[in-house]
Amino acid sequence: MINEVAINYILLFVLLEFYEISWQKAPSIMGMLIRMHKYYSKSIFLFLIMQPTFYFAIGFAMLTDYNISAMILLFIKTADIATKILLIEQVFKKRALTQELSLILLAPINGFLPYMGLVLYPALIALSIN
């Protein structure tokens, strides 16, 4: 059974994840990149501050004494932010896209995609605590 502490961490994470979804959600990956680029172009620090689940993952990993599930969560969140930054740099700074990447970025995404983290990450949090 999930204990009270785990439920509190999961609820905090879900709130933070909903915040991230709210400002990043778009009908395509390019739309998401455009929304993220608005903040990234002002300051990379502003962009990073707007990723509170990343900081949650860092703190949570430390609180759980670097439990493997918490480290997986931190790795996924780190890879997520790194991928976003690399795509923003590729699309808006270098302006060097292959035709295949352009098609992928412009393709509509399933409405469920932005919410996938709400399924995966709480499970990792629960595994880390129990």
The predicted-structure confidence for 80-103, as pLDDT tens digits, reads as follows 999 999 999 999 999 888 889 889
Q: At what angle do helices 4-24 and 52-63 cross, to 10 degrees?
A: 160
Predicted TM-score of the model (pTM): 0.89
- DSSP 3-state assignment of 26? coil
What is the average pLDDT across 64-78?
96
